[in-house]
Structure 1
Amino acid sequence: MTQNQFWWATVHGHDHACMIEEIAARVVALETMVAGG
């Protein structure tokens, strides 16, 4: 699988929304950890 095919599958695949939610959850967790000091 080439990088372009991976990108296409990532953008147009049915798991795209789940991936965004996972990234958002990690960002929130990181911000919480930083804020908690």
Structure 2
Amino acid sequence: MQKAIIETEKGNIVLELFEKEAPKTVDNFVKLINQGF
């Protein structure tokens, strides 16, 4: 399982990315992260 971390002034938010359940959504989310969004 992949994880993404969103860093904020109030602390970090850890997102668990469920690749098996939503492969297209996870792929799109990771692509957007890598593009700087």
Q: TM-score range by the shorter chain?
A: 0.3 to 0.5
Q: Which has the higher helix share?
A: 1
Please say which structure displays the higher CA radius of gyration. Answer: 1
TM-score, with normalisation over the residues of structure 2?
Answer: 0.40
